[in-house]
Amino acid sequence: MTKIKFPKNFAGIDGKKALEGIMNETEPEPKDPPTGTSNPLPIPTGDLTFVDKEDLYKEISKYIPTELPNLPNPLTFSDQVMKQSNPYLAVAVDMFCKKYLPEYRLATQLDLEQDLAFTKDTYNDTGLALRSLAEPNKSQAEYLFNQIKQRGFTEDDFPFFIQLRGLELDNQNFNLTDESLIHKQVKCLKWESGTNYSKTDNFGLPKSKNKKSSRQIWTIQNGLSRCYLNWISNLYADNSGLSDSGDDGRVVLAKPRSG
Amino acid sequence: MSNLNKYQNSTELMKLGKVPFYLDNFVEACLKGRLNLFLQGDSGMGKTHLATNAMNYFPGKSMFILGRNDMDTRELFQQINLGKLKDAKSSQELKELTDKIDNHLLVFDELPNCVPVVRAQAFNLFDGFIELNGKTYSIGEGYSVGIATGNIGQKFTESSNDLGRALKDRMHVTIDVDYFKPTAKNTFNILSGNTSPSIDFTQKQEEGDLEEKILTAHREIVSQEIPFEKLLLANYLIHGLDYVKIGSRETTKTRLKDTWPNAITNHGAGSDEALILPVSIRAAKSIIRLSQSFDYIAREKGASEEEIQNNYFNSMMQAFKFVGAYSGILNDLKVREHYGNDKYSAMDAVIQTTQTQYDSQKKNLSAGFHMVNEGKKLQKVLNKFNGRWSFMRGFLEDILEENSLEKK
Contact B245 A230 (CB under 8 A): no
Residue B47 belongs to some domain of the structure: yes
Characterise B364 by phi-psi region: left (phi > 0), alpha (psi -120 to 50), beta (else). alpha
Q: Output the domain CATH number for residue B184.
A: 3.40.50.300
Residue B378 belongs to some domain of the structure: yes
Q: What three-state secondary structure class fits B144? A: coil
CA–CA separation, B56 and B104 (whole Å): 12
Which among B366, B371, B406 has the least Cβ separation from residue A11? B366
Q: Which of residues 45-84 of A touch B (CB under 8 A)?
A: 83
Which among B349, B370, B386 has the least Cβ separation from residue A15? B370
**Interface residue A26 vs chain B (CB under 8 A):** no
Q: Which of residues 150-189 of A touch B (CB under 8 A)?
A: none
Q: Do residues B320 and B278 touch, judged by C-beta distance below 8 A?
A: no
Residue B99 pLDDT: 79
Backbone angles phi, psi at B179, to 5 degrees: -85, -10
* Chain B partners within 8 Å of A18 (Cβ): 363-364, 366-367, 370
Mean pLDDT is highest, among B186-190, B213-217, B356-360, for B213-217
Q: Do residues B139 and B128 touch, judged by C-beta distance below 8 A?
A: yes
Residue B11 pLDDT: 93
Q: Are residues B152 and B193 part of one domain?
A: yes
Tell me the mean pLDDT in the region B129-145. 86
Buried b (16+ CB within 10 A) or exposed e, A167-181: bbbeeeebebeeebb
Select from B180, B198, B223 the last residue of a domain.
B223
Q: Are residues B238 and B387 part of one domain?
A: yes
Q: Are residues B240 and B216 part of one domain?
A: no
- Cβ atoms < 10 Å from Cβ of B225: 5
State the Cα torsion A93-A98-A101-A107 to the nearest 10°.
60
Give the ranges where B43-199 is alpha helix by DSSP (H): 47-54, 73-79, 91-99, 116-126, 162-170, 184-192
Give this prediction's pTM. Answer: 0.68
CA–CA separation, B28 and B340 (whole Å): 30
Residue B127 pLDDT: 92
Residue A106: strand pairing partners:
A253
Q: How far is A246 from chain B (nearest CA, A)?
A: 5
Chain-centroid distance of CA B30 in Å reads 8
Residue A167 pLDDT: 95
Q: Are residues B217 and B69 part of one domain?
A: yes
Tell me the mean pLDDT in the region B297-312. 95
Residue A225: strand pairing partners:
A129
Tell me the mean pLDDT in the region B170-194. 88
Contact A23 B380 (CB under 8 A): yes
Residue B174 belongs to some domain of the structure: yes
Q: Are residues B257 and B216 part of one domain?
A: no
Q: Which of B82, B83, B80 is nearest to B108 (CA)?
A: B80
The amino acid sitting at A240 is S
Contact A215 B356 (CB under 8 A): yes
Q: Are residues B153 and B36 part of one domain?
A: yes
Range of the domain at B333: 228-407
Contact A239 B364 (CB under 8 A): no
Contact B381 A23 (CB under 8 A): yes
Tell me the mean pLDDT in the region B362-383. 93
Mean pLDDT is highest, among B17-26, B154-163, B355-364, for B17-26
Residue B6 belongs to some domain of the structure: no
Domain count, chain B: 2
A152 or B222: whose pLDDT is higher? B222
Residue B1 belongs to some domain of the structure: no
Q: What is the pLDDT along chain A (259 residues), one digit of tens a residue?
A: 456 678 888 988 999 999 999 998 875 443 333 333 334 455 554 578 999 889 999 999 989 988 888 888 889 998 889 999 999 999 999 999 998 888 889 999 988 998 888 898 899 999 999 999 988 888 889 999 999 998 888 999 999 999 999 999 986 789 999 888 899 999 999 999 889 999 988 888 999 999 888 899 999 999 999 999 988 889 999 988 898 888 889 999 998 754 3
* Chain B partners within 8 Å of A121 (Cβ): 386-387
Select from B223, B247, B271 the last residue of a domain.
B223
CA–CA separation, A139 and A160 (whole Å): 16
Residue A13: strand pairing partners:
A10
Q: Are residues B302 and B183 part of one domain?
A: no
Residue A259 pLDDT: 32
- pLDDT tens figures, B27-62: 999 999 999 999 998 888 789 999 999 999 998 899
Q: What three-state secondary structure class fits B31? A: helix
Contact B380 A245 (CB under 8 A): no
- Residue B200 is given by DSSP the state -
Length reported for chain A: 259
Backbone angles phi, psi at A209, to 5 degrees: -75, 145
Q: Are residues B232 and B180 part of one domain?
A: no
CA–CA separation, B47 and B176 (whole Å): 9
Contact B369 A10 (CB under 8 A): yes
Characterise B81 by phi-psi region: left (phi > 0), alpha (psi -120 to 50), beta (else). left
Residue B156 has pLDDT above 50, yes or no: no
For residue A148, what is the enclosing H or E element? Answer: helix A138-149
Residue B2 belongs to some domain of the structure: no
Give the ranges where B80-227 is alpha helix by DSSP (H): 91-99, 116-126, 162-170, 184-192, 210-223
Residue B306 belongs to some domain of the structure: yes
**Interface residue A1 vs chain B (CB under 8 A):** yes
Q: Do residues B241 and A211 touch, judged by C-beta distance below 8 A?
A: no
Select from B223, B255, B283 the last residue of a domain.
B223
Q: In sequence order, which residues have a C-beta less than 8 Å from that of residue A199 and are 6 or more positions away? A: A206, A207, A208, A210
Q: Are residues B243 and B181 part of one domain?
A: no
Tell me the mean pLDDT in the region B123-139. 87
Q: Are residues B239 and B216 part of one domain?
A: no
Q: Are residues B189 and B40 part of one domain?
A: yes
Q: Which of A205, A219, A226, A181 is nearest to A87 (CA)?
A: A226
CA–CA separation, B95 and B100 (whole Å): 9
Contact A244 B386 (CB under 8 A): no
Residue B3 belongs to some domain of the structure: no
Residue B298 has pLDDT above 50, yes or no: yes
A225 or B202: whose pLDDT is higher? A225
Q: Are residues B239 and B210 part of one domain?
A: no
Q: How far apart are the first and last CA of chain B?
A: 55
Tell me the mean pLDDT in the region B67-79. 89
Tell me the mean pLDDT in the region B250-254. 89
> To the nearest whole number, what is the mean pLDDT of chain B?
86
